[in-house]
Chain A
Amino acid sequence: MAFTTARTRLVNPRLGTYFGIFTSAFVALTMLALLLELMGTGDGFVRSLMFFGPLLLYGGIGILVPARAIGDYFASGRRVPAFFNGAGLAVSAIGGAGLLALTGTFIITGVDAFALSIGWMTGLVFMAILFTPFLRKFGAYTLPTFFGRRFESRLVRFAAAAVLLVPLMLLILAEARFAAYAAGWLLGQSERWMAVLVIALVTGLLALGGMRAMNWSSVAKCIVCYIAIMVPVTVVAVMINKIPLPQMTHGNVLVPLTRAEAARGVPFVVAPAATVDLPSTASEPLVKRFVQPFGAIGGLGFVLLTFVVAGGIAASPGLLARAGTAPGVYDSRKSSGWAVLIVGLIMMTVPAVATYFRFMLLDQVVGRASSDVPAWFEMLQQAGIAKLEAKTQLILLSQIGFERDAGLFSLPIAAGMPQVLVYLAIVGALAAALAALASSMMAAAAICSEDLVIALIDEEAPDAARIGVARLAVCAIGFVAVWLALLARGDPLEFFMWGLNFLAATCFPLLLLSIWWKRTNAWGAVAGLGTGFVVTLLLMLLNEWSFIGMSSMIAAALSAPCAILAAVTTTLLTPVPGRTMLDVVHEIRVPGGETVYDRETRLARLKGRGQA
């Protein structure tokens, strides 16, 4: 009987009730804001309510789930049921990049943006099948700890820690910028100060409750994100198609959209095969037809970009850390299934937002005189989201410039919805960005504390000391993140893609070989890590200096095979792994039995007590 097993007894049976209460509170908050807006309350108060209200709810959850034991701090007590684990994993995987940048990329480049959304999905499938069950069986709190034990090498552990911190900092920077962008829109403050605020809030949450607080607040953020993306687009679907299923009905708008584009002379654009031209944060002109593929991203570039994103997502340390929070191997597999379902539904909704917005733009703006545009388009222009460079009497689509990251909340503005629904969309994007930021910051802090400090000072340090060091590491990562956010000026999507490229070229090959090829040894691991990192960096620098035409967004398409080749060659030229190393590989391949890391930690502690 499933309900009486030792494992399910660990799981809190009232989780559904708690998150039901949270959902009701969030819906009530939104309704209250809507009522206040209709009653004529000041816009500043409504914005503050929509910003601070959800933050207080997340913070409340964080405070209610303190992490006093080390298992709670780094692995959420290993008692997060599959659905809730999948929900947290999904929202952290999507992040601000998946909601803000992806929606805008769909609006600007049309179906070429599927390269990114398919990459996201493929990454989660790779993660579920290739890595998650085995990492759950091993149970290490960080990936470098797993590599160090798998290869019985401190060198591999330190090298992995050093290499992984680079993409993690890029992901932290990207998500902090996305969160700051959303927060800036809500509060009307500068993005730089909003970056400081969001990083400080996440640092506080992680320092207090670690993975446990992060995990449960991420589930709440997933609910907010879901409501926020679904509500405005469902209202638009009802307005246009009369059916509240935008994921299915937006396809019906494509036919009139394509006809309107043809009638208004929107050109066919064909990009060279290896081109990857993603829109930047600057105002981007809408120059290609929505349904026409390979206009901004060439055919080869499309496939390579898909697999680079997939490799980066699948090997992301922040996402893989969630494998360890499930009660067992079977639950970790199921949680990946839930994550694929939740992300899949969002990835079906994002193109719907873009399709409806493009349709409204063509229907109500393009082909009119610049003095005859609807009020919502003027609002977008005043807000700096849309720019019109009308050189002809009638407006052409290519004369409209659009700010990429504003796509998600431009749709409710275009549909003439109350401001609260615009703020709701922004709150959803903020929730996703905060979840992804917390996930990457927790992974970076755990690597700093466990693999760089504790591993160097005392591997058998008491739990209280390890938690204390981890709390300090969270604060240190927070300071570095603030410094980077104030300093770095670039495009957050570019930072995000660079982070994924480094992960796809370093962590993905090493994880793949360490689990699926037992012959891999420490020398091969170091060679693979080093080659992947150096080749990726070199390709990015050569692209920046215009020495090569290959986009830095797909650098890992070349560097990941180089890393695998280097790891395999070096492994074959050096001695076979020892018996204890092979025992670990054999053990992680079998779901049954105790979690390897927990057992080894317990035995090491008993041995230490025996010696004392």
Chain B
Amino acid sequence: MVERNERKPYWRHTKAQMLASLLPFVIAVIVLPLYAEPLNDKRVLGVPLGYFLVCHGLIIIAFVTVAMFVNRQDAIDHWHGAHEDL
């Protein structure tokens, strides 16, 4: 169980991790679809680049975001002694 004096640093660290995970993802979700069409002139593996970024890119970004969040948040839990007792 987390020490009382570790609570605030732990929560500050957790909030920073949440923002670091979500902000780039949210920006990608807003920006990529809006500006994808001009990129369609270029191709990746024969696929129009804009379409590739929206169809495949965002899904890959979503998975990487969650995977990195799980990994980093687990490290933060252990660093502050807030992890589950296994």
Contacts and interface: CB of A to CB of B under 8 A. Distances in A.
A233 to B, nearest CB: 14
Interface string A507-525: 0000000001000000000
Interface residues of B, number: 48
Interface in B19-34: 21-22, 25-26, 29-30, 33-34
A589 B45 contact: no
Contacts of A254: 47-48, 51
B46 interface: yes
Contacts of A306: 29, 33
A125 interface: yes
Contacts of B30: 303
Contacts of B15: 516
A361 interface: no
Interface string B5-44: 0010011001100100110011001100110110010010
B54 A111 contact: yes
A255 interface: yes
Contact of B55 (A7, A251, A292, A330): A251
A305 to B, nearest CB: 11
A371 B77 CA distance: 69
- Chain A facing B: main interface SS: helix
Given A118-B33, A118-B58, A303-B34, A111 B66 contact: no
Contacts of A590: 1-2, 7, 10, 82
Interface in B39-73: 40, 43, 45-48, 51-52, 54-56, 58-60, 62-63, 65-67, 69-70, 73
Interface in A197-214: none
A328 B36 CA distance: 40
A333 B63 contact: no
B66 A336 contact: yes
B3 to A, nearest CB: 11
A590 B81 CA distance: 10
A251 B45 contact: yes
A124 B51 CA distance: 22
Contacts of B58: 118, 121
B21 A344 contact: no
B21 A330 contact: no
Nearest to A341: B63
A251 B52 contact: yes
A389 B2 CA distance: 69
Contacts of B18: 129-130, 516
B84 A255 contact: no
Contacts of A341: 63
A136 B65 CA distance: 20
Contacts of B83: 330, 591-592
Nearest to A241: B46
A502 B13 CA distance: 32
Interface residues of A, number: 50
A111 B55 CA distance: 9
A129 B58 CA distance: 17
A124 B62 contact: yes
A449 to B, nearest CB: 30
Contacts of B62: 121-122, 124-125, 340, 344
Given A340-B62, A590-B2, A592-B2, A328 B84 contact: yes
A114 interface: yes
A344 B47 contact: no
A128 interface: yes
A6 B86 contact: yes
A523 B70 CA distance: 34
A402 interface: no
Contacts of A118: 29, 33, 54, 58
Contacts of B84: 7, 328-330, 591-592
A24 interface: no
Interface in A326-344: 328-330, 333-334, 336-337, 340-341, 344
Nearest to B74: A330
Given A5-B86, A337-B67, A592-B85, A252 B46 contact: yes
Contacts of B81: 592
Interface in A213-264: 247-248, 251-252, 254-255
A340 B66 contact: yes
A252 B54 CA distance: 15
B33 A293 contact: yes
Nearest to B69: A129
A330 B74 CA distance: 7
Contact of B59 (A126, A329, A344, A591): A344
B63 to A, nearest CB: 5
A347 interface: yes
Contacts of A144: none
A207 B22 CA distance: 39
A462 interface: no
Contacts of A128: 66, 69-70
A348 interface: yes
B40 A291 contact: yes
A13 interface: no
B75 to A, nearest CB: 11
A299 interface: yes
A118 B85 CA distance: 36
Contacts of A292: 37
A73 interface: no
B37 A293 contact: yes
8 contacts: A7-B84, A118-B33, A121-B59, A125-B22, A128-B69, A329-B84, A337-B70, A592-B1
Interface of A: 2, 5-7, 111, 114-115, 118, 121-122, 124-126, 128-130, 133, 247-248, 251-252, 254-255, 291-293, 299, 302-303, 306, 328-330, 333-334, 336-337, 340-341, 344, 347-348, 351, 516, 586, 589-593
Given A111-B51, A118-B29, A255-B46, 7 more contacts: A7-B84, A128-B66, A251-B45, A293-B33, A302-B34, A330-B77, A590-B2
